Amino acid sequence: MSVFAIGDLHLSLTTEKPMDIFGDGWTNHIERVLEGFSCVGDEDLTVLAGDISWGISLSESLEDFKFIDRLPGKKLLLKGNHDYWWETVSKTKRFFAENGIETIEILHNNAFLHGDIAVCGTRGWFAPEEGDDPHAEKIYNREVGRLKMSLDAAKALNPREIYCFLHYPPISKGYECAEITEMLQKYGVSCCCYGHLHGYGHGIRFEGEHKNVNYRLISADFLKFVPIKI
């Protein structure tokens, strides 16, 4: 009944998308993901923290979802900045049911209980700065609201611990989104995992404790395509 996590699988089983734009280390990454999941058991839960498929629609991403469905255990998907296939939860769940996908749930404005652990999260966004596009600020505010909804749902489950998963890093070297990090502290989150950073981005990651929350980078290339046990 363990909780695992990995982000940024960037699957493209029906589309050709070169991964060298994210730096070295992506050779045969599909096979490496399959091998990496050998550490996950059928009773375990794995959170996939965004940038899951390069498909631009549910139908174009179907083979990627089938690949994920075949991996051991249950899987929770949250949105990343490259998940153009993303639809409403109801439409996605209906698509999964129609195509026999049974082990995947969507993490969006909600939370799930796995044993006595509440799992919550959202895509996140970078905190707006002066001169930024007003649209970016709108996205940020929406993501902060979604995070609060997910945290409220997690708290209502009365768990022993709360794990939060984001796609965008709420903190890195020289950067902190205080509104998010303070919210995680307020809700008593014990661990926050995030992805999005690749290649040189690994060097600016923050890992460790901050405001009583333990932060971890879980980008697939950083983890060598092996899900990490939280």
pLDDT tens-digit readout, 93-113: 999 999 999 999 999 999 999
Task: Dump pLDDT digits (tens) for 71-81.
Answer: 999 999 999 99
Which pLDDT value is given to residue 172?
Answer: 94
pLDDT of residue 24: 67
What was the pLDDT predicted at 53?
Answer: 95
Give the total number of structural domains in the chain.
Answer: 1
Name residues whose C-beta falls within 8 Å of residue 58's C-beta, 6 or more positions apart in sequence. 65, 85, 87, 91, 92, 95
SS3 160: coil
pLDDT computed for residue 13 by the predictor: 85
SS3 content of the chain, % helix, strand, coil (to 5): 30, 25, 45
Look over the chain and give the mean of its residue pLDDT values, rounded to a whole number: 93
Integer Cα distance of 192 and 175 in angstroms: 16
- Quote the percentage of the chain above a pLDDT of 70: 96
Strands (E), 89-203: 104-106, 111-114, 117-122, 161-166, 171-172, 175-176, 191-194
Q: Which amino acid is at 126?
A: F
pLDDT of residue 23: 65
Instruction: Give tens-digit pLDDT for 39-53.
Output: 999 999 999 999 999
Q: Residue ranges of the chain with pLDDT lower than 70? A: 18, 20-24, 130-132
Range of the domain at 80: 3-229
Give the tokens for residue 49. 């923290």
Task: Tell me phi and psi for residue 216, to 5 degrees.
Answer: -140, 140
CATH number for the domain that contains residue 172: 3.60.21.10
C-alpha torsion sign, points 106, 216, 136, 151: positive
Report whether 208 contacts 215 (CB < 8 A).
yes
